[in-house]
Amino acid sequence: MTPKESPLPLRARLRIRTLLLLLLCGWLFLLHAGILLEHGLDGPRATVGDALLEGAAGAGSANAVTTVVVSYRGFDTLGEVTVLFLAATGVGLLFAHRRGLTPPRDHPDTTPASEMIVTGVRLLFPVLLLFGVYVVVHGHLSPGGGFQGGVIIATAFVLRLLVERDFRLHHATVRLLESLSGSGFVLFGLLGLVIASTGTFLGNFLPHPTAALGDLVSAGVIPLIYVLVGIKVGAEVGAIFEDMLEGRTGEGT
């Protein structure tokens, strides 16, 4: 008798907890909505962005967001690339397999991908790579840049990893690309510090005439830095994808 009665108070207790949580979230929502609707509706009057926009045409890049990401706030981009590197290293450590022993990629009873999918992905792969490279290289002329293009390139590689059983990323090449582009980024920054025309870290020391606005070769050092960032992001995100795909389910290693 008691086992039949005891689920009922449990369910009633959980309903009260859900109701209390809903009340808490609702009250916080009304509080924040009151604050924002009273003070935040008129928009900012004068921001840092206005001052940056006036100086951005002098930097030579047609995309103001790229100028802010690479040139005005380039140190934040360096920190972001560092965080990505740490995350990729962490994922690689968590999914490490013993050296010399590459595990089989599929669980024994998964069916291999059909012929159509494999052929389709093989046809799509160079197009996706080309699109990713285009987005990276044109970061200073149109929406795009290193982060977007790098993730597109990594997505192209993960499509091939998903459908082909024997495709693996060459770990040594990925690590080499990653370290070279990371050190290249810091090297550009140090060069900006050393060269006397701009005495700042990540200063724009290559010529960036305003007349060349909109051309592919413009904005000085900004597209070069963004290409390095794109290579690094693509290599790291590809390494994250491959490490997460390689592990087998249900085994305690």
Minimum distance, C-beta of residue 160 to another protein, in the bound complex (Å): 13
Q: Does 26 bind another protein (CB under 8 A)?
A: yes
Closest CA to 70 of 231, 233, 229, 222: 222
Q: Does 96 bind another protein (CB under 8 A)?
A: no
Q: Are 188 and 221 in contact (CB under 8 A)?
A: yes
Please identify, using beta-carbon distances, which residue of 77 and 192 lies nearer to another protein: 77
Q: Does 78 bind another protein (CB under 8 A)?
A: no
Number of Cβ within a 10 Å radius of residue 236: 27
Residue from 69, 206, 231, 235 in contact with another protein (CB under 8 A): 69
Q: Which residues fall within 8 angstroms of residue 5, CB to CB, at 6 or more apart?
A: none
Q: How far is 178 from 43, CA to CA, in rounded Å?
A: 41
Residue from 136, 151, 202, 227 in contact with another protein (CB under 8 A): 151
Q: How far is 75 from 80, CA to CA, in rounded Å?
A: 9
Annotate 65-78 with DSSP letters as a single string. HHIIIIIITHHHHH
Minimum distance, C-beta of residue 119 to another protein, in the bound complex (Å): 22
Name the amino acid, one letter, at 205: F
The encoded tokens of residue 158 equal 């993960």
Contact region with another protein (CB under 8 A), list: 26-34, 164-172, 173-181, 218-226: 26-34
Minimum distance, C-beta of residue 90 to another protein, in the bound complex (Å): 5
Please identify, using beta-carbon distances, which residue of 45 and 170 lies nearer to another protein: 45
Chain residues 163-222 in contact with another protein, contact rule CB under 8 A: 213-214
Position of tokens 């060069």?
A: 191
Residue from 105, 222, 241, 242 in contact with another protein (CB under 8 A): 241
Please identify, using beta-carbon distances, which residue of 28 and 190 lies nearer to another protein: 28
Contact region with another protein (CB under 8 A), list: 114-122, 174-182, 201-209, 238-246: 238-246
Q: What is the DSSP letter of 249?
A: T
Size of the site for another protein (CB under 8 A): 76
